[in-house]
Amino acid sequence: MPASKSVRLGRKRVLPSCPNPLFLQWLTELRDEAKEKNHKIHYTYQKAISSLNKYPLPLKNAKEAKILQNFGDGICKILDQKLQKYYRENGEGGGSSVGGYVNRSCDHLLSSGGDAPIHSLPRGPPSPRHHDARILPAPPPKQRKDGADHIKTMKKKKEYVPQRGSGGYAVLLALHRKSQVQDGNAFMFKMELQTAAQPFCDKSFSVPDPGSKYTAWSSVSTLIQKNLLLKTHSPARYSLTDEGLALAKRLAAAQEEEEDEEDNVVDLTVSDEDEGDVAAPAECLLPGHYEILLCVDVIETTGGSSGCKQALVAELQRNKVLFDVRKLNVGDFLWVAREKVPPPTGQRAVRKEFVLDFIVERKRMDDLCSSIVDGRFREQKFRLKRCGLSRVVYLVEEFRSSHLSLPEATLQQAVVNTQVVDGFFVKRVQDVRESAAYLTIMTRYLTELYQGCTGFVLR
Q: Which residues are catalytic?
A: 297, 300, 332
How far, in Å, CA of 171 to CA of 177, rounded?
A: 10
Contact between residue 430 and residue 340 where contact means Cβ atoms under 8 Å apart = no
Q: Which of 395, 384, 390 is nearest to 427 (CA)?
A: 395
Task: Give the residues across from 363 on adjacent strands.
Answer: 396
How far, CA to CA in Å, does 53 sit from each of 46, 83, 93, 320, 415?
Answer: 11, 19, 25, 70, 49
Contacts of 184 (CB under 8 A, 6+ apart): none
Contact between residue 237 and residue 192 where contact means Cβ atoms under 8 Å apart = no
What is the identity of the amino acid at 222? T
Residue 391 burial by Cβ neighbours in a 10 Å radius (0-12, 13-18, 19+): exposed
Contact between residue 458 and residue 260 where contact means Cβ atoms under 8 Å apart = no
How far, in Å, CA of 20 to CA of 97, rounded?
A: 8
How far, in Å, CA of 316 to CA of 328, rounded?
A: 18
Where would I find the H helices in 55-202? 73-90, 107-110, 167-181, 190-197
> Cis link prior to 210 (omega < 30° from 0)?
no
Contact between residue 135 and residue 22 where contact means Cβ atoms under 8 Å apart = no
DSSP string, 29-86: HHHHHHHHTT-THHHHHHHHHHHHHH--S--SSGGGGGGSTT--HHHHHHHHHHHHHH
What is the identity of the amino acid at 343? P
The C-alpha R_g of the chain, in whole angstroms, comes to 32
How far, CA to CA in Å, does 293 sit from each of 309, 446, 452?
Answer: 19, 10, 16
DSSP string, 14-39: PPPS-S-HHHHHHHHHHHHHHHHTT-
How far, in Å, CA of 319 to CA of 360, rounded?
A: 19
